[in-house]
Structure 1
Amino acid sequence: MISAAPISSPKPTVVLGLPTKQPAPAFTFTTWDENGLICILAKIEASFTITYDIEGGTQVLIDRIPIDATSKGRCDYLLDEKPVLDVSWIGGFTFRMIFEKVGELNWGINSIDLLYNTADSLFRGSTKGGKKVARSVEGSLGMFTTQLGKSYLCPSPPVINLFESKTGKQTVVLRLTNIQIQAFQIESGKFAPMVRCSSVGFGSGVQAFPPIRFSLEQDDSVPVIVGSITIMVSILVVVGYAVYRSWFVRRVDYDTMG
């Protein structure tokens, strides 16, 4: 008689979940490390003036980071990699900040890039469509150097020029406002005490941004409007003088007759 083999119970399935991400402060762009801890924290307002080629010349597109932009990055400290924060939004734009340690006591920004695609419909009339990378000049971002364990705050940093990586041609002007950033040694997922920049913008430092995503194109209506206003003012001056002259002459004649 053959005995039945014992039926073994199935082994429990072990599901390895991703580490829980540390909550990020509101209205910040964030990068988490492999343990789910915040390793880069940034509040950024930025506008970009982008020059691109069209038939017979160049055109300008002005864009800025929208409120629905998303962020991701890298903080592989153990591999001695430079921390990276990428902020991306619709239209194929990615604003990239690459951080580094400066000596033993400070941190700073190694480079700033803007990745964009002139083949996108936003770049109206573009004759050289394709993916572009505009980058800051090496060694030009020393104003962001900050003590480790501190955050950097500035209402209006200097304008930063970005140059196309392939041609070396300046193609982007970057204007930052109300920026607070920190890389390295972030405790409890919050900004450390801040170091304020030495340059202080006018008033609150907030600049008035132009409307999002428009091209600066020649508009013939502007000269027409200006010309019309000039003609109207001239007519009003002539009419006013005629009325004044008529009233003045009659008044003098009346006084003489009296």
Structure 2
Amino acid sequence: MKLARAFAALVIACLAVLGCIQAVTLEVKEGNSTCIKAELSASFSITYNTSSSTRTVQVPLPDSATVDSGSSSCGTDDSSPWLVAAFGPGHALRLSFATDGSQYSVATLALQYNLSDSSYFPDANSSEVVTVVSTSVGIWATINTTYRCMSPTTFRVDGATVTFSAMRLEAYMPGNDLSPTESVCMADKASTTAPTTTAATTTTAAPSPAPPGTPERGTYSVNNGNGTVCLLAQMGLQFNISYVSKSQNKTVQDLVNLTPNLTSSSGSCEASRATLVLTQEQTTTLSFTFTLNSTTSRYHLSGIALLANWSDMTAPFSVSNIGLDYLRSTLGRSYMCNAEQTLVVEPTLSLNTFRLQVQPFGVTTNQFATAEECQMDQDQMLIPIIVGAALAGLVLIVLIAYLIGRKRSHAGYQTI
């Protein structure tokens, strides 16, 4: 038994360290049609408890992995498509997908592992089947294109990590083969940037650009088919973005303000979905997607996408996330937050908002409805109230002390 465990550990180490994990091809079908296809290599770093300590093991996705037809699905109007790759005694890699009509993304990444499998988890103090989930993955592509990422990319999933490499993937497929048109991940774009060689010269480093300051507040709206306003928004917007700089030949992080007088707005309004698209000088397209839950009459910002092609970028920058949960409010009311907020989209992009008010549903008379304020605004309003109450209490204490002292001083005099 010990020899078998040692051999299994040696094989796993070889696969993880030497990179000899073979690519696996997985397909989800509905009848004779393929809706999801993936060609990828994957390995999992999992930490588990033994009776005396914790251990971390590297588990590869073996080439014997197969699609679990009972759990995998092409999806319906009420359910998401799922790709479930099963391997070993109770292990599985699960990917669910979502789309906004123009792009698709991995909405959920889940890893299931069985601690009773002693070949992977020797001396584990539990035999349970563990499932860990992440809903912020960053794998997305344009509809009818193949997502391609040859570079190793690691995602943290609770107490484990999942590393993909040599990945080609497509969901919502119109045909049975991967599209020849590819959406390339940022890691591959950065790795193909050719370094430049220059003669050694004495140069003076350029000064760092000054911070852009607080962005100007813009007013944006979307009209429905009959010309009336169906979405209203007022906000200052600032990009916190990482991209490969052409002038510096490296990845830089930059703060860039959106300029309202150079920005136009468009979009669409549907019963349960509304979209605001902001376009600045044909170089920046920023879209917000809002979703309404008709059961709870609550809406939220569910998706943000940015396509930028700035002069200093080595390649167009494209990021999208349709699994967000920001700016929650009630149907018939607007959402307001005067304080600065940070909306994280992906590791390479976040948005800073200033003096924001938005209403994507139930707009009447071209005006915002009563606002529901964010927690930060409520906290900021509470601080002066607390300070004022404390000062009032202090004044009251001083006044009471003065009156008591004055009364005692009068009591010390006797009439002659």
Q: TM-score range by the shorter chain?
A: 0.5 to 0.7
Specify the structure having the higher radius of gyration (Cα): 1
Q: Amino acid of the residue matched to residue 127 of structure 2? A: G
RCO comparison, higher one (Cα < 8 Å, 6+)? 1
Q: In the comparison of the two structures, how many residue pairs are matched?
A: 164
Q: Which runs of 5+ in 1 are unaligned?
A: 1-25, 164-169, 204-258
Identical pairs, percent:
23
Q: Amino acid of the residue matched to residue 83 of structure 1? A: P
SS class of match (1:76): coil
Q: Give the structure 1 partner of residue 110 of structure 2.
A: 113
Superposed structure 1 runs of 4+ greater than 4 Å apart: none
SS class of match (1:199): helix
- Paired with 1:27 and 1:46, the residues of 2 have a C-alpha distance of 9
Q: Give the structure 2 partner of residue 49 of structure 1.
A: 45
Corresponding position: 1:28 with 2:25: yes
- With 51-60 and 193-202 compared, the bigger mean Cα shift is at 193-202
Summarize the alignment of residues 219-258 of structure 1 with structure 2, pairs less than 5 Å apart.
none
**Residue 81 of structure 1, CA deviation:** 1.2
Q: 1:62 to 1:157 in 2, by over 3 A?
A: closer
CA contact (8 A) 1:40 1:186 kept: no
- Paired with 2:144 and 2:183, the residues of 1 have a C-alpha distance of 10
Q: Give the structure 2 partner of residue 17 of structure 1.
A: none
Corresponding position: 1:175 with 2:163: yes
CA contact (8 A) 2:39 2:169 kept: yes
Summarize the alignment of residues 179-194 of structure 1 with structure 2, pairs less than 5 Å apart.
179-187=167-175, 189-192=176-179, 193-194=181-182
**Residue 126 of structure 1, CA deviation:** 0.6
Per the normalisation by structure 2, the TM-score is: 0.38
**Residue 157 of structure 1, CA deviation:** 4.8
Q: Give the structure 2 partner of residue 145 of structure 1.
A: 140
Per the normalisation by structure 1, the TM-score is: 0.60
- How large is the Cα RMSD of the aligned pairs? 1.9
Summarize the alignment of residues 199-210 of structure 1 with structure 2, pairs less than 5 Å apart.
199-200=187-188
**Residue 104 of structure 1, CA deviation:** 2.5
**Residue 28 of structure 1, CA deviation:** 1.8
Q: Amino acid of the residue matched to residue 190 of structure 1? A: D
Q: Which runs of 5+ in 2 are unaligned?
A: 1-22, 193-416
SS class of match (1:94): strand
- Paired with 1:150 and 1:50, the residues of 2 have a C-alpha distance of 32
- Paired with 2:91 and 2:174, the residues of 1 have a C-alpha distance of 27
Q: Deviations over 1:129-158 (max 9, x none)?
A: 20100111x3x223x121111110001253
Q: Identify which of 65, 68, 80 aligns with 1:69.
A: 65
More strand by share: 2
- Paired with 1:117 and 1:99, the residues of 2 have a C-alpha distance of 24
Q: Give the structure 2 partner of residue 158 of structure 1.
A: 153
